[in-house]
Amino acid sequence: MSSFSSFVSELFGVAGRLGGTGADMIGDRLELAALELREAKIHFLQILILACVGTALCLLGLGLLILAATLALPPEWRVQGLAVMAGLSLLIGLGAFLSLSRRISRRPMAFAQTLAELEKDKACF
């Protein structure tokens, strides 16, 4: 009987150590996920603030530039001048949005490191 009880106690000890290791591993992965979430949030806020400030200042500058250029034209050319400047503004704005889209798509997916670590853990078990 004593060999059976020592086997059972040893089995419970191994199970406890394995459970503790698993809990530590899950804790590490959750800490990594929280860190990546914080980094993603900060990066998103930086992009959002810069985009808003840049957009507001560019629109103000563009409006003033169009106004100044329109007033510099002779009165009979003002309508055509406004149309050309509006078209150029739209093309430049479209180019800026396409550039922003490319930059965002190049950024790695959020939680990529956490997912990679979980895949490693899955492969080990």
- Dump pLDDT digits (tens) for 83-105: 888 888 889 889 988 998 888 88
- Dump pLDDT digits (tens) for 5-24: 776 677 777 777 777 777 77
Q: Is it the case that residue 116 has pLDDT exceeding 80?
A: no
- CA–CA gap between residue 29 and residue 18 (Å, rounded): 16
Mean pLDDT of 106-123: 72
Q: What is the pLDDT of residue 28?
A: 80
Q: What is the pLDDT of residue 110?
A: 64
| Helix pair 2-72, 112-124: axis angle to 10 deg | 160
Mean pLDDT of 16-43: 81
pLDDT grade for 37, boundaries at 50, 70 and 90? confident
Q: Is it the case that residue 58 has pLDDT exceeding 90?
A: no
Length of the chain, in residues? 125
